Amino acid sequence: MNRRQFLHSMVASAAFAAGSHAFALPGEKPRRVGLIGNGWYGKCDLFRLMQVASVEVVSLCDVDRRMLAQAADMVASRQGSGKKPRTFSDYREMLKERDLDIVLIATPDHWHALPMIEAVRAGTDVYVQKPISVDVVEGQAMLAAARKHKRVVQVGMQRRSTPHLVEARDNIIRAGKLGTVGLVEIYCYYPSRPLNIPDSDPPDYLDYEIWTGPAPMRPYNRLVHPGGWRSFMEYGNGTIGDMGVHMFDMVRWMLGLGWPKRISSSGGILILKAGKANIPDTQVATFDYDELKIVWQHRNWGQPLDPKYAWGATFYGDKGTLKAGVYSFDFTPLDKSEPVHRDVAYELDRFPEDKTEARLEQHVAPAIRRHMLDFLAAIDSRRNPVADIEEGYISAACCILANLALKTGRTLAWDPAAQRVTNDEEANRLLRRPYRRPWIHPETDAV
């Protein structure tokens, strides 16, 4: 770490501890930021960055004109300059300006790969939402682009920056209090219900052709935009790709794991058959690390096993059990010593605007702020961030492979060196989704 990086780190730490909404070295220019995807989580990420860094938001991009205009007004009211960002409907036009230091990408999942690759080509560092891709080859191309263009890419898997989960990793798992871990159960039991709304013409403020982009064209339905696209496989990878990737990535990070040896899965639409959603409402997937098994289960119906941990992970060790989720963790030792419980630490006193921000997950805001600080520190030092694009690729690809195991009805053995499924050409063909014309699927040798 050079002197400048050291000073910036000290200023950032002091400012964050004091609850400052911006920090910079004397004479340092604010970082110029652009956001692609101005919906719920795009604004959530952007406003957390604005809380902890000296930035000027200069560009916003979205294909929903109403959402874009609202975001521009909100940004102008929050940033120190009071300036309203430029607005774009095409991310390519925004990136052609080549005047950004950082680009945040918070589009639906099927629109992560192309903007991220174009952004690193334009010389910006990138914060891209999870999961990084909807197919495995997209992820491979994104990783190749980040490395080729020497850009820092942080993935929005902020469990790696959640304070109470960092404590659980450091003071429980790394301290050896679990002993040998042989099984981890990861799960999501958030209930849903069948929804049926007639198809219609898209609203005049939405460019539905571009919103659909490389995905298959479906008749417009207001279930899809905004937010409901997660219930359709055309735009994502179902609950395991949305919620499962967070918990699988958290377990990999806590235990220091890379690729599993084998992945199997079963499930389908077993209960919620009457709605338009086409994602599995029930799924079990096993990520096999030989001496360790990670088992995912979701039910989009019924009750959770433990209401305190409706979305989380349970680590079973020969010395104790650890339950970990976004709200808390609980460690229960087998030797009858004192259990350990921690709750999420809110920061509403230091960041009072969190109290009134629409749809903000207040319990997640501290983790996003720390994730942004890690991203900024990685940019300054040119190191890999805690949720580097390669980690995002591994976690996303494994969840995609679980869906392919479900589709083929076979256990898939992954070869990390070849980046292919071993002895299964059908599965390998499924590593790439067809792109709708005129969009062209990214390739690792053409980024």
Nearest to 295 by CA among 247, 234, 339, 348: 247
- Sequential DSSP letters for 111-138: GSHHHHHHHHHTT-EEEEPSS--SSHHH
CA of 255: how far to CAs of 182, 291, 421, in Å? 11, 13, 24
Nearest to 57 by CA among 45, 46, 41: 46
The pair of three-digit structure tokens given for residue 277, joined into one six-digit string: 């959603």
In 269-419, the DSSP E strands lie at: 282-288, 293-299, 311-317, 320-325, 328-333, 340-343, 412-415
pLDDT tens for 216-243 read: 999 999 999 988 999 999 999 999 999 9
pLDDT of amino acid 195: 87
pTM: 0.94
Q: Domains (ranges, CATH) in the chain?
A: 3-160+372-389 (3.40.50.720), 162-346+390-446 (3.30.360.10)
Amino acid at 293: K
Residue 2's pLDDT band (cuts 50, 70, 90):
very low
- HEC secondary structure over 383-425: CCCCCEHHHHHHHHHHHHHHHHHHHHCCCEEEECCCCEECCCH
Whole-number Å distance between alpha carbons of 299 and 304: 8
pLDDT of amino acid 227: 85
pLDDT of amino acid 19: 43
Contacts of 188 (CB under 8 A, 6+ apart): 239, 243, 244, 247, 298, 310, 311
In whole numbers, what is the pLDDT of the chain averaged over residues? Answer: 94
pLDDT tens for 193-223 read: 888 999 999 999 999 999 999 999 999 999 9
| 228 exposure class (CB count in 10 Å sphere: 0-12, 13-18, 19+) | middle
| 9 exposure class (CB count in 10 Å sphere: 0-12, 13-18, 19+) | middle
In this structure, are residues 299 and 310 in contact, taking their beta carbons and an 8 Å threshold?
Answer: no
By DSSP bridging, strand 153-155 and strand 125-128 are parallel
